[in-house]
Amino acid sequence: MNSLHKGPAAPGRPDVIKAVPVRHPGRWVGAAVILLLTAMLIHAIVTVPAFKWDLVGHYLFDDRILHGLVVTLELTALAMVMGVVGGILLAVMRLSPNPLLSGTAWVYIWVFRGTPVLVQLVFWNFLGVLWAKLSIGIPFGPAFWSEQTNVLIPTFVAALLGLGLNEAAYMAEIVRGGIQSVDEGQLEASQALGMNRFDAMRRIILPQAMRVIIPPTGNETISMLKTTSLVSVIALEELFRAGQNIYSRNFQSIPLLIVVSLWYLFLTSILTVGQYYIERHYARGSNRSLPPTPLQRLGGLFRGIKSAPAAKPANAGGHGGGGEGGGAA
Amino acid sequence: MTDLTKSPADTVPAGPMVKAEAVHKSYGLVEVLKGIDLEVKQGEVFCLVGPSGSGKSTFLRCINHLEKVNAGRLWVDGELVGYRQKGDKLYELRDREVAMKRRDIGMVFQRFNLFPHMTAIENVIEAPVQVKGESKGDARERAMALLERVGLADKAKNYPSQLSGGQQQRVAIARALAMKPKLMLFDEPTSALDPELVGDVLDVMRGLAEEGMTMIVVTHEMGFAREVGDALVFMDGGVVVESGNPREVLTNPQHERTRAFLSKVL
């Protein structure tokens, strides 16, 4: 204690504080209650025979289910690519000073965001009923080339158009928000250097907008993964439809719905973890200290109960790691 | 009507780098510039001073057409800014034509406006490569020389967030110089800086002036204006109140408003 008072004379630092940390008895009580409720729920689920867990295990890796899974993944990936590319295009059009471009983008977003995606899917599927043939030629004149609509747009393409074009409308608004979040001085600086709008957008504005655009895009991807199940209405055999097809024959709907749900849950979990790390990556520079990773947080939970200060180094470690990545971008 | 509007081309014979005649600018109902007349000669360091809201920054931004002039005429190096004149009719320039003219006018902003996702050297080579189509190698070589000149060769690979305000502003000057401008506009280049960092930026500007660069500087640094400036204009309320040699205007202001302003700043 004396050394604390006489600053210059003391060679070292004062003692590290060893205080009794705040106790959290409520957490222990809460944990016990939650454990009890979870046990009751698991007991109820396992003991009710209608769930037929043996069938769940049997169908989990069924070929038809796995094939549906692949279709679901393909649809998700391709529709998101369409959504992101289309969204960027629409957002840039929407913000253009050219009234023709911004008007077109406005109408597109109005229509595709204003009608249910389910309806759009059915429309794309029935395009062949509305126009049996699609042709290229002189407007209102002769056609040079034409093809059956149903050949041009098979079910998979109809599904992709329905999901992708709808997603583009949503992504457009996300991208627009991102572009508008970039400081106006950036556009002025680019213009003052003699860049035209297109170059300024491509080289200066969009790369900076990405930090705002990417996190919600992850969200949209997770949402898209589940939205693909709507495609079952136009009889495309993705994951959900594959499950439906099986239980329409053997009437084991509950076990098959569980199979399908487990797969969706598994895939969204993977995407969620991915999104977490992407958000963390893009938070660097804007957040002074990065939030801890789930593992660090798990460690902190128990250390927080035993001794609060011990949780700090975990945070500091995460920050240092993020700073290192800063130079790479 | 007058001789001027009937002049055959949109050029003024020989002389000033910038010429303004009755330049007006308003935002909606608020008139920010109420008729500015001035002339900036080639190779001159021209200082614009005045209280905030007096329109000096707005006027500066009119010169490279970041703001549109509502009335009056503005010429840079004999060419009308933002318009083409045929007979007594004015035609708006296309975006690409405006961009083309901006190449020759460097601008340095109060808030630096460096591109934060690029390193210092990438900031400097961006416009020469993208706008002028210079090869990356050549641009990089010149950029290094420019960074050397502003004293930041060792910071070439740093991102703006890793630089101090003064260093960022010097990179911004190097970035503008990379386009080989004939005119440099400085919009309160030291106002956002910590006091001890101001000197480095002013030194770079002083060096530029000595090399004969035409510079228009909006500033509150009266010491710089007195020492380096060739001409000074005091603006208030959107008009030029007083102008002349900086040493004379600053030591012996003729106008009451100039005196009141200087007594607060000096």
**Average of pLDDT values for A284-296?**
61
B175 reaches A (C-beta below 8 A): yes
Q: Are the beta carbons of A194 and B176 separated by less than 8 Å?
A: no
Specify if A243 maps to a domain.
Answer: yes
pLDDT at A53: 83
Specify if A17 maps to a domain.
Answer: no
Report the domain count for chain A.
1
The residue among A296 and A35 whose pLDDT is bigger is: A35
**Average of pLDDT values for A146-161?**
86
Q: Are the beta carbons of A189 and B113 separated by less than 8 Å?
A: yes
Specify if A279 maps to a domain.
Answer: yes
Cα separation, B137 vs B143, in Å, equals: 10
- pLDDT for B19 beyond 50: yes
Is B43 in contact with B214 (CB distance < 8 Å)? Answer: yes
Quick: pLDDT tens for A46-73.
888 878 888 888 899 999 999 999 999 9
Residues of A in contact with B176 (CB under 8 A): 192-193
- A200 to chain B nearest CA, in Å? 10
Q: Are the beta carbons of A186 and B99 separated by less than 8 Å?
A: no
Which of A185, A194, A197 is closest, CB to CB, to B109? A185
Reported confidence tier of residue A303, pLDDT bands at 50, 70, 90 = low
Burial group, residue A57, by CB count within 10 angstroms (0-12, 13-18, 19+): exposed
pLDDT at A324: 36
Instruction: Evaluate if pTM is beyond 0.80.
Output: no
Cα separation, A29 vs A305, in Å, equals: 13
- State the residue range of the domain holding A265: 47-135+145-300
Burial group, residue A84, by CB count within 10 angstroms (0-12, 13-18, 19+): buried
Q: Which two tokens stand for residue A312?
A: 């700090």
- A288 to chain B nearest CA, in Å? 12
Top residue of B65, B131, B179 to mutate, by most chain A CBs within 10 Å, is: B131
- Please name the amino acid found at residue B30: V
**Average of pLDDT values for B248-253?**
92
Chain A's closest residue to B127, CA to CA, is: A193
Specify if A187 maps to a domain.
Answer: yes
Q: Are the beta carbons of A188 and B66 separated by less than 8 Å?
A: yes
The residue among A25 and A289 whose pLDDT is bigger is: A25
**3-state SS assignment for residue A310:** helix
- pLDDT for A286 beyond 70: no
B95 reaches A (C-beta below 8 A): yes
Angle at the Cα of A201 (from A199 to A203), degrees rounded to 5? 60
Mean residue pLDDT of chain B comes to: 91
- Facing residues of A39 across strands? none
Q: Are the beta carbons of B99 and A195 separated by less than 8 Å?
A: yes
Chain B's closest residue to A282, CA to CA, is: B117
Instruction: Provide the terminal-to-terminal Cα distance of chain A, rounded to the nearest Å.
Output: 48
Kindly report the number of other CB atoms within 10 A of residue B163's CB atom. 19
Place of tokens 């289910």: A65
Written as one string, the DSSP assignment of A66-85 is HHHHHHHHHHHHHHHHHHHH
B180 reaches A (C-beta below 8 A): no
Quick: pLDDT tens for B202-220.
999 999 999 999 999 999 9
Specify if A34 maps to a domain.
Answer: no
Kindly report the number of other CB atoms within 10 A of residue A240's CB atom. 23
- A128 to chain B nearest CA, in Å? 44
B9-42 exposure pattern, b = at least 16 Cβ within 10 A, e = fewer: ebebeeebbbbbbebbbeeeeebbbbebebbbee
Mean residue pLDDT of chain A comes to: 84
Which of B96, B107, B113 is closest, CB to CB, to A196? B96
Reported confidence tier of residue A111, pLDDT bands at 50, 70, 90 = very high
Cα separation, B117 vs B115, in Å, equals: 6
Chain A's closest residue to B128, CA to CA, is: A193
- Number of residues assigned to chain A: 329
Residues of B in contact with A209 (CB under 8 A): none
- Please name the amino acid found at residue B216: I
pLDDT at B43: 93
- B191 to chain A nearest CA, in Å? 16
Q: Which residues of A touch B (CB under 8 A)?
A: 183, 185-186, 188-189, 191-197, 199, 203-204, 207-208, 285, 326-327, 329
Quick: pLDDT tens for B108-129.
999 999 999 999 999 999 999 9
Which of A192, A207, A327 is closest, CB to CB, to B117? A207
pLDDT at B9: 45
Cα separation, B170 vs B165, in Å, equals: 9
- A190 to chain B nearest CA, in Å? 8
pLDDT at A291: 64
- pLDDT for A325 beyond 60: no
At A261, which helix (H) or strand (E)?
Answer: helix A253-283
Specify if A278 maps to a domain.
Answer: yes
Q: Are the beta carbons of A196 and B95 separated by less than 8 Å?
A: yes
DSSP B178: T
- Facing residues of B71 across strands? B24
Cα separation, B134 vs B140, in Å, equals: 10
pLDDT at A314: 39
pLDDT at A200: 94
Residues of A in contact with B76 (CB under 8 A): none
What is the CATH number for A116? 1.10.3720.10
Quick: pLDDT tens for A163-201.
999 999 999 999 999 999 999 999 999 999 999 989 999
Sheet hosting strand B231-236, strand order edge to edge = B105-108, B183-187, B214-218, B45-49, B231-236, B239-244
User: Per DSSP, which regions of chain B are E strands?
Assistant: 18-27, 30-40, 45-49, 71-76, 79-80, 83-86, 89-92, 105-108, 183-187, 214-218, 231-236, 239-244
pLDDT at A278: 80
B106 reaches A (C-beta below 8 A): yes
- Please name the amino acid found at residue B125: I
Specify if A30 maps to a domain.
Answer: no
**Average of pLDDT values for A253-277?**
92
Q: How many CB pairs under 8 A join A and B?
A: 62
Specify if A42 maps to a domain.
Answer: no
- pLDDT for A301 beyond 80: no
Which of A193, A207, A327 is closest, CB to CB, to B127? A193
Quick: pLDDT tens for B71-81.
999 999 999 99
Residues of A in contact with B161 (CB under 8 A): 285
Q: Are the beta carbons of B130 and A195 separated by less than 8 Å?
A: yes
- pLDDT for A323 beyond 80: no
